[in-house]
Amino acid sequence: MSMLLYLIPVALFLGLLGLGAFLWALRSNQFEDLDGAAERILFDEDAPPPR
């Protein structure tokens, strides 16, 4: 059972990592334009991305 002592923190840490990533994405406006994001992946030029 002693493995629980580090398995639980590891599981929680991974979960928090996911939550943090989501909140960061939300804060940096990545959920503003979901349709646009799906299309932007088709930009196939190597030109610098639009500012």
- Site for other proteins, rule CB under 8 A: 1, 4, 8, 11-12, 15-16, 18-19, 22-23, 26, 31-36, 39-40, 42-43, 45, 47, 50-51
Largest CA distance in the chain: 56
Residue written as tokens 């349709």? 35
What is the DSSP secondary structure assignment for residue 32, as one 8-state letter? Answer: S
Minimum Å gap between C-beta 18 and other proteins is 7
Minimum Å gap between C-beta 19 and other proteins is 4
Q: What is the CA radius of gyration of the chain?
A: 18
Minimum Å gap between C-beta 43 and other proteins is 5
